[in-house]
């Protein structure tokens, strides 16, 4: 595929990225510092949503435990930063640890040819085991290098610093710039990845694994590849998250957070990248608002949202909006045929 | 000698515990190919039924053995009618919808009973002695109940007309409905039965673990891994899965402590799935139930 075509295919991604860049430079002038700090956490979660959007929406891999890689990344960063005394290597270590763990887990499940539903359950189980494992590490004997794992209370995360300058810590406002830049870079990377040969083979495997294998692609390797890459991206989210919050606790691995990640992607729409990101911001502010009152429980609302979307809007918001616009532009009969074809083949657009 | 008996007792209890919490899930999964992610919440509801009933003055045995399965079974039938039946054949959507249900139930119970532990009930049986060691009589009772439950499910599936029809529907739904079986009714009953067994398990475990709205999360990881490792045969799968994983968990927990035990259980299950992707009963004991 030549460069011109890639650019054309990536046009929506680039437009959204530009909007993101404008937002990144405007936000600190418009918003208060408190909002900016909150926003940093939301951005970290958006990176997590993006990683799941990639592996589920484009790789067709039902990973219920994306928070495992996110949390693992956050823990690896924190422990690394405490031991190295700076964040530069810690970030790299964090991404490596998550990706390596994903590759190991992925080897067992993909090469064992575990079906997608089992895969969801296994990844979820791994997440829950992490939760109960790290909760039990409260004693002083549980430490890696100089870092106490701290059990239930978690660990305080050292702040980010300028590369190779351990004394130049970043202030919350600067962390916001870093987070936003990381989100935009990850978004562009994912948007680019799905237009490459690798990405298109992954989509082919999602649509019809047998046919792709008969064409000579080893689906196990491609699945392992996209699974590992998405785990690395999730780790970036984890690094940003523990910087936004200031500490990392085992709660990141709990069932609620695992479900939340799935809900972002379901609501935003499988097969798009911007949808889950937008859904993350929307639901982040919804749950914050819900936290301020005591009538409705967060679990209750999120459960209702999940059931509602699975039963009534199974494609999610972004594809539904796109379809609606496409449907309005075309004559009616054609739109109905397109919609039916869309349901059958799950035609997806970025 | 006494030590050996005490250790074996603990091992058997661990296995029975695993089998007890997994059986309801295995029934629903084996018969209907539905993985019920709200399984943990069904256990939780069983526990709450017992706590509420005993606080209202109901005898604890009646609450555990009759009320808990009845209440959760009815909830199961309602859930099947309202939610699950729209999603048959769409495994991923079923999974997601039951996850939504799981969150919904946690939220609902938290709103009603509060987020902290409800009044705990103490295990009703005393202590039994094994030489110099002692064990809980209630644990022995749970082992017994698990065995009886397995026999009861086996007898229902093998000896009754309902079991015959249900097994037929499981093997070939189209053929069964062509022969005049209402498959939707069979699915409804199966889901209700699975939920009822789950409720019974939740009720029986309530005195041991206490009840919390989020207690489901502590069960489901183990239950899922047991059922998936066991494979699709309901009884043989749950039994072999529980024996293998419960055994590994027990042995590692005895040597190194409970944390490593759970990790060993998970690692064993993942390695097992690499070797036998369809579970133990996908390769061995295929003819068994």
Over residues B55-76, the pLDDT tens digits come to 888 888 899 899 999 999 999 9
Please report the pLDDT score of residue A49 as a whole number: 95
Among A43-57, A323-337, B229-243, the least confident range: A323-337
User: For residues B86 and B80, is the Cβ–Cβ distance under 8 A?
Assistant: no
**Residue B90: phi, psi to the nearest 5?**
-110, 85
Among A88-97, A109-118, A276-285, A306-315, the least confident range: A109-118
The per-residue pLDDT of chain A, averaged, comes to 85
The per-residue pLDDT of chain B, averaged, comes to 87
Please report the pLDDT score of residue A347 as a whole number: 43
| Contact status of A122 with chain B (Cβ, < 8 Å) | yes
| Contact status of A312 with chain B (Cβ, < 8 Å) | no
Give the span between the Cα atoms of A290 and A288, in whole angstroms.
5
Helix (H) / strand (E) element for B130: namely strand B127-130
Mean pLDDT of B155-164: 90
Q: Which residues of chain B lie closer than 8 angstroms to A314, CB-CB? A: 93
| Contact status of A125 with chain B (Cβ, < 8 Å) | yes
| Contact status of A25 with chain B (Cβ, < 8 Å) | no
Please report the pLDDT score of residue A172 as a whole number: 82
Q: Inspect the interface and report whether the beta carbons of A300 and B277 lie closer than 8 Å.
A: no
Half-sphere exposure of residue A200, counting CA atoms within 13 Å on the CB side? 6
Q: Give Cα separations from A68 to A347, B106, B131 (angstroms).
A: 30, 22, 45
Q: Which residues of chain B lie closer than 8 angstroms to A118, CB-CB? A: 228, 273, 277
Optimal mutation site among A267, A290, A299, interface B, most CBs of chain B within 10 A: A299
Kindly calculate the radius of gyration of chain B based on its CA atoms and give it in whole angstroms.
19
Chain A from 44 to 63: CB within 8 A of any B CB: 62
Picking from B97, B106, B221, the nearest residue to A125 by CB comes out as B221
A110 Cα to chain B: minimum distance (Å): 9
Angle, helices A172-193 vs A219-245, to 10°: value is 170
Give the span between the Cα atoms of B99 and B92, in whole angstroms.
11
Q: Which residues of chain A lie closer than 8 angstroms to B110, CB-CB? A: 297, 299-300
pLDDT in tens, B85-137: 888 888 888 989 999 999 999 999 988 888 777 666 777 777 777 777 777 88
A136 Cα to chain B: minimum distance (Å): 7
pLDDT of residue A337 exceeding 60, the answer is: no
pLDDT of residue A25 exceeding 60, the answer is: yes
Chain A from 313 to 332: CB within 8 A of any B CB: 314
Q: What is the pTM of this model?
A: 0.87
pLDDT of residue A181 exceeding 90, the answer is: yes
Q: How far apart are the first and last CA of chain B?
A: 36
Please report the pLDDT score of residue A342 as a whole number: 47
pLDDT of residue A66 exceeding 90, the answer is: yes
Give the span between the Cα atoms of A272 and B281, in whole angstroms.
39
Which chain B residue is nearest to residue A124, measuring alpha carbons? Answer: B221
User: For residues A240 and A43, is the Cβ–Cβ distance under 8 A?
Assistant: yes
Half-sphere exposure of residue B128, counting CA atoms within 13 Å on the CB side? 15
Picking from B35, B214, B266, the nearest residue to A121 by CB comes out as B35
A244 Cα to chain B: minimum distance (Å): 26
- Residue pairs spanning A and B at CB distance below 8 A: 130
Q: Inspect the interface and report whether the beta carbons of B110 and A299 lie closer than 8 Å.
A: yes
How far out from the chain centre does Cα B176 lie? Answer: 27
Q: Inspect the interface and report whether the beta carbons of B274 and A108 lie closer than 8 Å.
A: yes
Helix (H) / strand (E) element for A330: namely none
pLDDT of residue A94 exceeding 70, the answer is: yes
A113 Cα to chain B: minimum distance (Å): 7
Mean pLDDT of A49-66: 93
Q: Inspect the interface and report whether the beta carbons of B35 and A299 lie closer than 8 Å.
A: no
Please report the pLDDT score of residue B234 as a whole number: 86
Confidence at A1, pLDDT banded by 50, 70, 90: very low
Picking from A128, A296, A310, the nearest residue to B93 by CB comes out as A310
Give the span between the Cα atoms of A246 and A117, in whole angstroms.
35
């Amino acid at each position: 595929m030549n460069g011109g075509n890639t650019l054309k295919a990536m046009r929506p991604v680039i437009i959204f990225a530009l909007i993101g860049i404008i937002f990144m430079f405007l936000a600190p002038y418009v918003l208060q510092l408190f909002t900016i700090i909150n926003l940093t956490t939301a951005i970290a979660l958006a990176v997590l949503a993006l990683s799941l959007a990639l592996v589920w929406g484009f790789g067709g891999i039902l990973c219920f435990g994306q928070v495992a890689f996110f949390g693992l990344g956050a823990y690896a960063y924190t422990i690394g930063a405490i031991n190295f005394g700076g964040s530069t290597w810690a970030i790299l270590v964090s991404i490596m640890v998550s990706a390596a763990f994903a590759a190991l887990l992925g080897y067992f499940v993909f090469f064992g040819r575990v079906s997608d539903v089992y895969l969801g359950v296994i990844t979820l189980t791994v997440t829950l085991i992490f939760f109960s494992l790290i909760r039990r590490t409260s004693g002083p004997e549980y430490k890696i290098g100089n870092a106490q794992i701290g059990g239930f209370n978690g660990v305080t995360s050292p702040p980010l610093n300028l590369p190779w300058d351990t004394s130049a810590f970043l202030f919350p406002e600067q962390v916001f710039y870093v987070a936003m830049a990381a989100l935009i870079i990850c978004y562009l990377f994912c948007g680019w990845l799905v237009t490459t040969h690798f990405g298109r083979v992954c989509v082919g495997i999602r649509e019809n694994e047998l046919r792709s294998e008969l064409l000579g692609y080893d689906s196990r390797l491609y699945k392992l590849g996209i699974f590992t890459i998405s785990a690395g991206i999730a780790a970036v989210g984890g690094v940003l998250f523990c910087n936004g919050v200031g500490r990392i606790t085992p709660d990141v691995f709990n069932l609620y957070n695992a479900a939340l990640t799935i809900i972002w992607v379901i609501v935003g729409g499988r097969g798009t990248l911007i949808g889950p990101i937008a859904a993350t911001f929307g639901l982040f502010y919804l749950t914050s608002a819900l936290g301020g009152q005591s009538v409705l429980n967060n679990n209750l609302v999120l459960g209702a949202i999940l059931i509602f979307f699975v039963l009534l809007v199974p494609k999610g918001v972004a594809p539904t909006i796109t379809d609606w616009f496409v449907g309005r532009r075309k004559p009616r009969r054609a739109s109905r045929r397109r919609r039916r074809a869309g349901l059958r083949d799950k035609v997806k657009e970025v | 000698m006494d030590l050996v008996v005490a250790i074996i007792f603990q091992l058997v209890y661990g296995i029975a515990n695993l089998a007890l919490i997994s059986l309801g899930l295995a029934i629903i999964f084996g018969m209907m190919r539905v993985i019920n992610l709200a399984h943990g919440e069904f256990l939780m509801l069983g526990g709450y039924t017992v706590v509420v009933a005993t606080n209202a003055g109901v005898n604890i045995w009646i609450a555990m053995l009759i009320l808990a399965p009845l209440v959760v079974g009815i909830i199961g039938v309602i859930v099947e009618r309202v939610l699950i039946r729209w999603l048959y054949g769409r495994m991923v959507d079923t999974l997601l919808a039951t996850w939504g249900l799981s969150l919904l139930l946690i939220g609902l119970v938290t709103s009603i009973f509060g987020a902290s532990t409800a009044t705990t009930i103490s295990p009703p049986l005393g202590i039994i002695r094994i030489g110099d060691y002692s064990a809980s009589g209630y644990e022995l009772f749970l082992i017994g109940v698990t065995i009886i439950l397995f026999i009861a499910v086996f007898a229902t599936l093998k000896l009754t007309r309902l079991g015959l029809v249900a097994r037929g529907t499981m093997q070939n739904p189209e053929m069964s409905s062509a022969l005049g079986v209402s498959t939707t009714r069979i699915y409804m009953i199966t889901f209700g039965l699975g939920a009822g067994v789950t409720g019974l398990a939740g009720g029986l475990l309530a005195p041991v673990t206490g009840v919390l709205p989020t207690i489901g999360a502590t069960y489901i990881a183990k239950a899922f891994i047991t059922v998936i490792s066991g494979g699709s045969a309901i009884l043989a799968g749950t039994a072999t899965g529980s024996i293998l994983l419960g055994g590994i968990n027990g042995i590692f927990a005895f040597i190194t402590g409970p944390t490593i035990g759970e990790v060993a259980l998970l690692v064993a299950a993942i390695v097992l799935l690499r070797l036998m992707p369809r579970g133990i009963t996908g390769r061995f004991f295929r003819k068994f139930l």
